[in-house]
Amino acid sequence: MTDQTRSAAAALSITSVFDSGNIVVEGIDGTTATLSIRKDNESDFFQWFHFRAAAPAGTALTLRITGLAASAYPDGWADYGACVSEDRETWRRATSSYDVNEAGGTLTVRYTLESDAAWFAYFAPYSLERHHDLVAQAGACDGVTLRQLGFSLDGRPIDCLELGTGAKPIWFIARQHPGESMAEWWMEGALDMLTDPGNVHARKLLAACRIYIVPNMNPDGSTRGHLRTNAAGVNLNREWHAPSAERSPEVLCVRDRMDETGVAFAMDVHGDEAIPAVFLAGFEGIPSIKDAQLASFRKYRDTLAVRTPDFQTRLGYPEARPGKANLSMATAQLAERYGAVAMTLEMPFKDNVDMPDPAQGWSPERSMQLARDCLATLAEMVEEI
């Protein structure tokens, strides 16, 4: 069946034919829909969904997303609640349950419409239109330059906002994996803070640093409704050792600009499907690791944990063994190539297990606040970077 199907009897219709939309309608029976997720183009990755369900207000919907045991991160579905919004501004969590034994792994979402339509997504979407608004508004602020570093495979610009009068080159990049939309919400919070002339942490950073911000490394995957890859099915966070114009022009143009500027500090912003926490991953396994470089990373991590209860150091990825870092990944490559204090920031698709919010779970608002905490932490120790 198509991804735009209507049940005449119940007047339930489901579609994903819009920016970042992704769902396949397998069938509709009254107010129950059986759905599946389309794979990324030229890839076996799938996990991101985003669709609209329309029916008369008061309709109690049952939405069954099937086949999820074969998804990219099947451990991500347990204790996960689908995001839902009726105004596309405020996103909350719908009642959801996962049964690994039903129809190849099924997430069942139950929701009663308050109006005549609701949008459901794996996380609150960050649209390409909002991205253009973000770069336009930030680029219009005093002292901010908007550069177009290159083009994606589909011809979309790779935008970079540059600001600050200091000498230290600081880089922030996000959405290498397009389904991790919390990363661009983080970027909105960062830019809002950095362009606020009254924010003392921002003023300190801008005086000490030249800051380079790429809010969306993968606009093609974002628009196509991909989880993890660009238009050609390439995972951009496995291209940093040898990006090419044919496979990964998005990484190539950003790394070329980094070669021009140098990198003292870098943060690659992501989301993690399975771990219900905010955490950092570092570069412990790079061949050229230096004691001072590693000490700066650990001090940043530990200081951030003191600043905000939304961040913790207990849960996360295992450290790479000495000499075993994957240099195709941004954090390891930037630490090795430039001697940077580099890190990957991960936010949850689920709720934060230490600071749960039953209504929203992890949210755009918390992502934006985390950005402010991350930047304030950097401002505290910028002299040491």
DSSP string, 320-333: PPTT---TTSHHHH
pLDDT of residue 281: 98
pLDDT of residue 10: 57
User: Would you say 193 and 202 are in contact if contact means Cβ atoms under 8 Å apart?
Assistant: yes
The DSSP 8-state label assigned to residue 189 in this structure reads H
Query: Tens-of-pLDDT digits for all 385 residues of the chain?
Result: 455 554 444 589 999 999 999 999 999 999 999 999 999 999 999 999 999 999 999 999 999 999 999 999 999 999 999 999 999 999 999 999 999 999 999 999 999 999 999 999 999 999 999 999 999 999 999 999 999 999 999 999 999 999 999 999 999 999 999 999 999 999 999 999 999 999 999 999 999 999 999 999 999 999 999 999 999 999 999 999 999 999 999 999 999 999 999 999 999 999 999 999 999 999 999 999 999 999 999 999 999 999 999 999 999 999 999 999 999 999 999 999 999 999 999 999 999 999 999 999 999 999 999 999 999 999 999 999 9
Place of tokens 């397998």: 26
- pTM for the whole structure: 0.97
pLDDT of residue 8: 44
- Give the closest residue to 317 by CA, choosing from 326, 308, 309: 326
Q: Out of 284, 346, 380, 384, which one is annotated catalytic?
A: 346
Please say if 346 is a catalytic residue.
yes
Query: What's at 251, amino acid-wise?
Result: V
Q: Helix H segments across 231-339? A: 249-261, 291-307, 330-338
User: Would you say 205 and 378 are in contact if contact means Cβ atoms under 8 Å apart?
Assistant: yes
3-state secondary structure 40-78: CCCCCCCCCCEEEEECCCCCEEEEEECCHHHCCCHHHCC
CA distance 135 to 106: 38
Query: What's at 187, amino acid-wise?
Result: M
User: Would you say 124 and 83 are in contact if contact means Cβ atoms under 8 Å apart?
Assistant: yes
pLDDT of residue 44: 98
CA distance 83 to 75: 18
User: Residue 241, Cα to own-chain centre: how many angstroms?
Assistant: 22
CA distance 67 to 20: 20
- Neighbouring CB atoms inside 10 A of 331's CB total 27
In angstroms, the Cα distances linking 312 to 77, 281, 374 are 22, 12, 13
Q: Tokens standing for 290? A: 């230096």
pLDDT of residue 11: 87
CA distance 147 to 95: 43
CA distance 282 to 280: 7
CA dihedral 7, 13, 14, 15 (to 10 degrees): 120
Place of tokens 């114009």: 245
pLDDT of residue 298: 98
Rounded to 5°, the CA angle 68-278-234 comes to 50
Is 9 in a helix, a strand, or coil? coil
